[in-house]
Amino acid sequence: MRALPGRPVYLATAEALDEEMAERIAHHRARRGSEWIEREVPLDLVQALIETDGGGARLVDCLTLWLSNLLHSKRDWSQAISELADTLSSQRSPVVMVTNEVGLGIVPDNAMARAYRDAAGIMNQTMADIAAEVEFVVAGLPIKLK
């Protein structure tokens, strides 16, 4: 990100809803330093991408938290993912997205967790389909998928 032109933009989807998460967010901020522009976008990721296009590269951290926020706010996650895909296809500045693969383990034992797992799978497949590059990172080692 730092090698790309312009000042990098960090689009944070996490919310500090408890003390532990507040500590995580503070740790991330300290590690990034002041050279990043930070935008907190727990729900309005598409609008933030539109507003920051044309500047530096953007890092979205992370899509699975964004999806969780959408589900908890009872927004139409499928429509939001479609809008995100449409927006990404017209961006001029680079966008790097972080997401989690939650479908590698056992099938969860409750309906809400299964719905989240399925929605995350659909979201990740949609983003991978439109992305120019896709890497899967395991134990800090990137595996190029696309």
**Tokens in use for 74?**
């009872």
d(CA 1, CA 35): 11
Active site residue 28: yes
d(CA 6, CA 18): 34
**Which one is catalytic: 6, 28, 85, 118?**
28
d(CA 142, CA 45): 25
Intra-chain end-to-end CA distance of the chain, in Å? 19
* Catalytic residue list: 28
